[in-house]
Amino acid sequence: MRSLFILPSEVISHILCFLSPRDVIRLRVISKQFHDLSYDRALWRTLYRNARLPRPPGPFLSQSVQFFEHTLVQSERLADSWTTQPMEAVSAVGIRLQGYQSHSIIVDGKWLVAFDEPHKMLAYDLDYDGGSQPHQLLWESASEIYSWDACTVFSASELLVYIVFNTHTFFHVGPWKLLEFRMDGNSFHHTLTLNVPTRNRELPVFICGGNSPFSYIASQRLIFDTETRLFYGFPRFTSAAAPSDSDSSDPVTWVTLTNTHIISLFYHVDRTVSPAAASTLFQAFTIPTDSLQVSNGTCVLRLTHEGAVPLDFQDLDLIRNSIVNSLTGVTSIRILHQHFEGDSLHFSYIDLTLPNHTSTDAVLPITIDSHDITVVNHVPLNLAPEKEYHIVSSDDGYVRGLWIFGVPGNGSLNSLADALIMRFTIDSSRDKCVVVLGQISVPLWEQLERPTLIQHLLFDLARGMMCYDRNVTRGDDDDGPAVVTYIK
């Protein structure tokens, strides 16, 4: 053992980079030298960058060693049994909310951002195990909050949390507000408040983010850019690749946000021919360099690429973020497509290739290649007709997901106790996707008290967390609190 101590620290650190995160932690008990090196920030940045696991974007300067360690260890623990064993609840934390936890989000695997009706938005500390969860007040409104939603967005170097809400006073719906919070260690810092330019205040509030510098306010069809801090609308629909009978001025049915582009999808069925022919149009947009405000405080996105295929693509998820070739400027994006044909679940992926765009006006073609991955036959939809899926993916293409097949209830599943779950992983970092499927099985919920009356389900599949609200009537003591469960 003494021979190990004469090795320079730089050599030992280099060797540690080839170990798993949990092995690095185990070496802390060997000696003070190993203990000190195992907390080295450069080491954990390397481990995080090279991990073949689903994980949030990074490493960033704003992310701590503790963040790298906890995220990688939790994701590695999940990987051990994700497709080989039934889902199991390890422990649970009950949080009594004053408002429904719909639209809540789990941030960094540590915070549950939720609504405390009728005026407050709070962040609950999920790591605290000393009883009632401490919380941080994020926002308090003078008027009753009518509708709200939240998302996380990863800018170039940090994690941001965005909340959009409106208020209600005497049957009058107030203006929409956007709040920005930056994460600094173990706290949220409010850094921005903006009025959202709206077409109709009565529409439901819905915002989505992801591993990109953009957020998408879906009901208003607006993109918010974290760098320019401006709102962008889509230009009036036009396409040289669209079907000739397309005359809709707002046809987009799906939007995904990447590091480089906003990708929209238009699904079309041509009923002028027999049999009717389905086609899908992909369009790519960027933030223009001359972001001039046009009207109502909104700029306009620039259409850069488009392409159409005679196939039906509707339920899609980004599974590998934009990769830009440093020599050619070509951008590659990979998307997962899952769909049912009868009781068979089909997995396929779509590769989008966008040539380098240098002109400000030309719309370049997108190359669209679709590839089958696998088919799951005889899904028991007759026993559990309600279905939903959840996935998480890293920028470099490591995917963890699950399908839930359950009994229909009020708004979602009636009972987790009656659900069937199929878990899967996909490695899309290579030229071809490789999927590993688990068995469709009954989860093990022994650690949960009455996993019934499910209102909403929320997952953090990178770290193994599930949140659900089993309260049907808020304030009824017979109903349990919102439950955050740690799973494996």
Q: What is the pTM of this model?
A: 0.89
Question: Is the predicted pLDDT of residue 252 greater than 80, yes or no?
Answer: no
Whole-angstrom distance, CA of residue 468 vs CA of residue 459:
9
Per-residue model confidence (pLDDT) at position 156 = 74
SS3 383: coil
Q: Which of 6-15, 151-160, 395-404, 476-485 has the least mean pLDDT?
A: 476-485
Question: Is the predicted pLDDT of residue 18 greater than 90, yes or no?
Answer: no
| Inter-residue contact 217 to 166 (CB < 8 Å) | no
Question: Is the predicted pLDDT of residue 100 greater than 70, yes or no?
Answer: no
SS3 270: strand
Per-residue model confidence (pLDDT) at position 294 = 72
DSSP per-residue string spanning 227-261:
TTTEEEEPPPP--SSS-TT---SS---EEEE-SS-
Classify the phi-psi angles of 103: left when phi > 0, otherwise alpha if psi is within -120 to 50, otherwise beta: left
DSSP E strands in 331-385: the ranges are: 331-341, 344-354, 364-365, 367-376
SS3 208: strand
Question: Is the predicted pLDDT of residue 209 greater than 60, yes or no?
Answer: yes
Where exactly are the structural domains of the chain? 2-61, 82-102+380-488
Residue in 487, 479, 370 with CA at minimum distance from that of residue 94: 479
Reported as a pLDDT band with limits 50, 70 and 90, residue 305 is: very high
In terms of pLDDT, which residue wins out, 4 or 451?
A: 451
Give the mean model confidence (pLDDT) for residues 474-481: 48
Q: Which of 93-97, 236-240, 285-289, 318-322 has the least mean pLDDT?
A: 93-97
Question: Is the predicted pLDDT of residue 477 greater than 50, yes or no?
Answer: no
Reported as a pLDDT band with limits 50, 70 and 90, residue 358 is: confident
Reported as a pLDDT band with limits 50, 70 and 90, residue 177 is: very high
Question: Is the predicted pLDDT of residue 433 greater than 50, yes or no?
Answer: yes
Per-residue model confidence (pLDDT) at position 33 = 82
Sequence-separated (6 or more) residues with CB below 8 Å from residue 197: 220, 222, 231, 296, 297, 298
Q: What is the 3-state secondary structure (H, E, C) of 113-166?
A: EEEECCCEEEEEECCCCCCCCCEEEEEECCCEEEEEEEEEEECCCCEEEEEEEE
Q: Which of 1-10, 47-56, 395-404, 406-415 has the least mean pLDDT?
A: 406-415
Reported as a pLDDT band with limits 50, 70 and 90, residue 311 is: confident
Whole-angstrom distance, CA of residue 378 vs CA of residue 98:
42
Task: Tell me the pLDDT tens digit for each residue of 48-90.
Answer: 999 999 999 889 888 889 889 999 999 999 999 999 999 988 8
Residue in 99, 102, 297 with CA at minimum distance from that of residue 206: 102
